[in-house]
Structure 1
């Protein structure tokens, strides 16, 4: 599994040696989705919005496929999550030593991959932002680190649901230096949340 580097959307800071913030979109979306958040993020960052490598059957892109079950939430394939995490790390490797500070921001499926990458290379990241995510498989043996993390939960999220949101939060609190925020929202990003994200990134990345 590899990323399409030609599809990456970039916003470059007008400064020397800027930090890098990497955006990872959700299921059925594309690299232009989270790129719309750029005006709401701190100035002084190079921002790269990645396109997930898989094409879904109903349009848009995916970091991993879902298996729909008659009862219970959809299941995801652990090997694809590992492969997607490796693809992101491989792309970061291709940047060489260009960036001394790197942060990740993912939504939904992208948040799952954000946690996977954080478990693989915590020493190379300055911080992570995980929004409305689910806990990916293959993280049972993940290290415990002091990596700063901002974790956002929608209290009325019908896509992730209360049980999976709690699993996501619990893992983050056990393995990362997590700041957890709950918002009265569905599966979305809201203005108050953006204010908190900007404050977190200003403190930990910029």
Structure 2
């Protein structure tokens, strides 16, 4: 099946969308569960939108392009000055930019705000999880693939509202980019905050595999 994606330049973040087959633009009362996908370091909006072919079919997908140009056709969500240690000021600016964009999305598209998920890979996974800790009331949950939460982050965590929020993490035993130790530390941090966490490791590198995608699909199907 050929998937069709629409390009959008009219909001604060350039993005692609993919609507469910059942989408009818004349039906204003129908709102859809939605995934906002955030790519990894040095990638772009096309990297994760293809996952819409493999996951729950009734989802509206938004796949954003990081605003910081790293190289030709390669972007980041914030400037990377030191790998694994994002500048707290730059990270918070990125979170504010994401928050503003989510407000725009909810105004622009037929999104069910009670079923609005972030899905991230690598740097996008880190942004997704840190956003959950600071803005938990805006999300139904997070899919975090091959990512981590930096230990030194100066985040203002909403500890009360983050309790019970659903998160699924997947990480490769052989990840050569993001050490497994970082993922395990993030797992423990999320559990400390009372997040409803499902955690999986797979024999893979810094990647998304058919097996890891399978557990994500099952996790989403329970919540859509």
TM-score range, shorter chain: 0.7 to 0.9
| Distance in 1 of aligned mates of 2:165 and 2:157 | 16
The question of whether the paired residues in 1 share the 8 Å contact of 2:13 and 2:64 is answered with: no
In structure 2, the CA distance between the partners of 1:173 and 1:58, relative to structure 1 (3 Å rule), is farther
1:138 aligns with 2:148: no
Partner of 1:194: 213
| Distance in 2 of aligned mates of 1:190 and 1:96 | 31
Cα offset for 1:4?
5.8
- Pairwise mapping of residues 1-206 of structure 1 onto structure 2 (< 5 A)? 5=12, 7-13=14-20, 14-15=22-23, 16-57=30-71, 60-68=74-82, 74-96=84-106, 98-99=110-111, 100=113, 101-136=115-150, 137-139=153-155, 141-143=157-159, 144-175=162-193, 176-204=195-223, 206=224
In structure 2, the CA distance between the partners of 1:39 and 1:61, relative to structure 1 (3 Å rule), is same
Cα offset for 1:39?
0.4
Cα offset for 1:122?
1.0
Residues 31-75 of structure 1 deviation map (CA, whole Å, 9 limit, x = unaligned): 00011211011011110001111111576101123334xxxx643
The question of whether the paired residues in 1 share the 8 Å contact of 2:13 and 2:65 is answered with: no
Question: SS at the partner of 2:222?
Answer: helix
- What TM-score results when the alignment is normalised by the length of structure 2? 0.81
Question: SS at the partner of 1:49?
Answer: strand
Cα offset for 1:86?
1.1
| Distance in 2 of aligned mates of 1:123 and 1:140 | 14
Aligned residues: 199
- What TM-score results when the alignment is normalised by the length of structure 1? 0.88
Q: Which runs of 5+ in 2 are unaligned?
A: 1-9, 24-29
Residues 103-138 of structure 1 deviation map (CA, whole Å, 9 limit, x = unaligned): 110001001110121122212211111111021323
The alignment's C-alpha RMSD in Å is: 2.1
Q: Which runs of 5+ in 1 are unaligned?
A: none
The question of whether the paired residues in 2 share the 8 Å contact of 1:4 and 1:53 is answered with: no
